Structure 1
Amino acid sequence: MDTTGLPSGVDRPTWDLDFGVSGDPADLDHTTSVTLTGADRLDLDFSYTGVGSVGDTVWLDLDADGVLDADEVGLIGVGVSVTYTGPGGATVTRAATTDADGRWSVGDLPLDVELTVAVDPATLPANVEATHDLDDPAGVTPGAGTTHTARVTLTATTPDRTDVDFGYRGRGAVGDLTWLDLNASGGPAPDGDDVGLAGVDLTVTWTDPTAGTTWSTTVTSAADGTWRVDHLPDGDVTVTVDPASLPTGVTPTHDPDGGADGSAAVTLHDDPATAANEGIDLDQDFAWTGTGSVGDLVWTDLDDDGTVDTGEDPIAGVDVTVTWSDPVSGTSASTTVTTAADGTWSVGGLPAGHLVVTVDPATLDPGLAPTFDLDGGDDRRAELDLGAGETRTDVDFGERPEADLAVTKTHTGDFAVGAEGRFTVTVTNHGPADATGVTLTDTLPSGLRFLRSEGTGLACTGSAGVVTCTTFGGDLPAGTSATVTLVVDVGPAAAPGVTNTVRVSATGPADPDPGNDEADDDVTVPLSVLDVDKVLDGELRSGRDAHWVITVTNHGPSPTTGPVTVTDDLPAGLTWGGAVSDDLSCSAVGVTGAIVTCTTAASLAVGESVSVRITTGVTADAGDRVINTAEVLGGTVVNGSPLPSAVLGDIVTRLADPADTLAAELGIEPQVATEVAQSVAVAQEALAFTGASSLRLVWLGTLLVLLGAAAWALGWRRRLLATRPVTVRRRGQRSQ
């Protein structure tokens, strides 16, 4: 047989007469032998087949990417035909059916002939759409009439093609919701406070009821509890919930087929006669309710002990919100209930998880304040963990009426002895309840005497050093304040300062913060009692210099608050000769009869002394009487003003009275007080060069200038407080 005339690639012998007799493939050699015996032989036939093949897979291409992915399956029982034009123009069709893996193959095909490969749509699962074939790969819009077909030509170099694949995906879907059925209604849809359950794993299995193809996938419900599987062909679908993915402590209340077993079966079927896609079923919902609960009581905890005692009433009508959260998925749900007439509340249907329970303050009397909750925060909030199926009846909340009173007390500047002092006292009710029977009590310290009150916020009376003030009407509403000014007389016993304490109280309700019911106000009362000493250092001789030492001492009780000035009025017979001091700066006006002034701006501490040594010339004649006066000024300035002279005089008078307790109150020793009182007190108005006024403790001495009295000089080395006769000696004269 000459094979050169055969179609391309159709040169594989499949039968001849010798092979028909022997059955030996070696006889398929394009030749046969026959002996003619006078009759015609019309049985010398030769058959040939092609050497090419084509195939491969028809599969469920769910993601429409043209690639058979690991989670996609082949379609079983799909009919595939290969059609081509044979020798003489005859149409040849070869058929195949996909196997359990969706694979198909057709062999013995000619080369260099266009083959048309077609999928029989009637053998596909219903309600699918093409996603890929060799002519129309994924992502390319199929040409007209080319769906389900592909064209390929086999050649000598590629006689076998295993890339003629066909991808399909369904147009159907299944879903839709998993939720927490808090009220266990079991309804077909969530209601009330029900919420979707996140993180629930659902396995969806699709089966082609005709060919038996099966495909499964597992999805997880979203944060809102929704789930969905798309691209399913018509067929039988089962949905199974993985119980391990559910919150612990739940029991089913609803599934689509009513079994309440966490599984459902549905058949997807699209009616091609309608425009709608009936192959989409979004009614596959599942619900569970929890087996745990929480409660219990909101009550009036009058004694703030966290225990329901006799006489402590329940509080009805209070909104309590319970928020549950799953520690694994993060799903949370909230529900609000209202306390009953007996103050109780309860929320059921809770899975195991974390609970936050809060009381809505808007549903409480505004005058109430929290006293108790389960975790001790006293903030109308409690957190706890609930076990599977656990019942908690200890989540109580205590409330009581409270009025947080607070008092402040202030003044301005220092207080001056002999003047009025003013304290500003403010009482505030921080609530939350109105305060009744509000009373302000101020026990005045020694040296202060109540004069009157000013202002309209409180009415005050004073008795035995105690000032008592009450609000008008006795009540102080929550969120309001009352202010009063207490005016006091400031006595010298208040020096060098006092602490004035005021306290507020009320007859009701309870005060949650007693620490702000009392206020102290420290007041400075400056007062410096100054003393002056003057002694003669040496002798008095006519025609020679005499030296005088003047010492000023601050006996307190305060450091000096203003300049201190020492004045020495030199009488006739004494002339200015200069001064030496480490503490005082001195100057003089005139020479004979000069006024010597020495000052210091430094503050003198209590007990501190300063001194100056003044030199004078003695011009007096024998027998002349000389009166020399030394005085000290200043030391006490209050808020820029000196103490009035009348006040200073009164202080000296009281110090002179042994029966008066002022010296002891000021901390001045009795001997010092006597010496100060024995000094001459002179009232002096403000000096132009100091702007100050003070008690002038005057050293007065009368010097009798007599000749030859040298021996008397030693007697002047002491403090002189009164007029004394002294003789001035002639030169060379001995003391008498």
Structure 2
Amino acid sequence: MVEIIQINPINNIALPLFLVSERSYAMRKRTGRLGLVIMLSIMIFASTLIPHADVNAQVTFPTFIFTIIFPTPTRTPTPINLGNFVWDDLDQDGRQDAGEPGMPNVTVQVWNSAKTFLYDSDVTDANGQYTVVAPLAGDYRVRVVLPSVSDQFSPKDLAGGDNLLDSDINPSGTNSGFTDIITIASNVISITSIDAGIIKFRTPTPTRTPTPINLGNFVWDDLDQDGRQDAGEPGLPNVTVQVWNSAKTFLYDSDVTDANGQYSVVAPLAGDYRVRVVLPSVSDQFSPKDLAGGSDTLDSDINPSGTNLGFTDIITIASNVISISSIDAGIIKFRTPTPTRTPTPINLGNFVWHDLDEDGIQDAGEPGVEGVVVQLWNDAKTQLLDTAVTNANGNYYVVAPLAGDYRLRVLLPPGAGFSPINQGADDTKDSDFTSIIISSNYGFTGTISIASNVISISSIDAGLTNVTPFPTPTVSITPTSTPTRTPTQTPVADLDEKVYLPLLVR
């Protein structure tokens, strides 16, 4: 309906509109409503308002303002679509995870907020999608009907704040099966984040009858005590092995190793256990633990000390395990020590010769020198251990009491000197005494290291130069039960360990 008002601009009196024969107009917005402000210039002829007037007469009327008011049309209400997903929450966490499928044929309804009036209902499609329709803006609840009385709803609002991945249905309480109140504004045409997770009841998988778990398998004689099963280290028979609970308060099973050191004990169920090995003798010891370079099949798994001495650490056995065969024990057997061999004195010698050509090498025709004093000292040259004098052939020997480090010394006869040391490649033909006068080791050999399995060394020789006839000292040896000979010398002039230097001629 259109309302037309004629306003006289002279006196502002509103009058009904009658007949308009000529007009012009303009439009504008007026007071929030669509209005037309029409400026009308009205020429009313005498034939219209004054029936008997002269048709050629011209009457001029003032300009009038007309306002035409159109009412705002009301928008036809648009229904609101609500949806969209019901899924099988396999891990029961209330979150739509990859691989969790939609559930078909689940009834979904939209109710008023008081849950007293049902507006619409739908059934989820093959992908778990649904759509129900709310007729107008307002307050509503969506309801999901569980497919089975044994099913449950997932926990609500547990997707870390992501409303697109959570479940919106109350799983319990007075609103079980319904959402909280959903308020729909007048400008909303759809909501697609109203989802429901369902925890389907599934017949439990029959529980497998527990299978006892075999634990083993080897106890060995750790000959080198290194905690590693080495080639040639044998298994130990008749060693008791047990399986206990982890608290070491209950014994489940026991076995004794066979001739090869193998054993097997049985744990009744999956769980936490310890294996214990009983030492065959109180004098035996366990090998170091876990020292096979990370190889659990070659190491020893028994604690060798501490509060868990003789036990393994806790062994956790999963329900799908039927045996463990890497629980081994190394034992260091106590053995009576092998008697120590009485040390055998070591003879050292054997030749002092006149090096006629002074080349440091024993040549044919170069004679031995008689009467030369040869001494045995410790390596530091602080203790004299033995003394001998060369015989008519230039041979000598001194005795080292034990294996160890020593030096030999030759006392030069008057006017004599030493040949060059270590000449040639044959150690049985060279001279072994330092010939450099300014050396702190002048007249001594280098360090002679004697191993425990050596009983004599016969290649320690001395070449002398400028040898003149020298009286042979008499040496008497007093027999003694100790390995070291104690020579007794008849006092002879010039045998007081003096060093005779050769005459230097400019």
> Quick check: TM above 0.5?
no
More strand by proportion, 1 or 2? 1
Class of the TM-score when normalised by the shorter of the 2 chains: 0.3 to 0.5
Q: TM-score if structure 1 supplies the norm length? A: 0.28
Structure showing greater relative contact order (alpha-carbon pairs closer than 8 Å, 6 or more residues apart) = 2
More helix by proportion, 1 or 2? 1
Q: TM-score if structure 2 supplies the norm length? A: 0.37
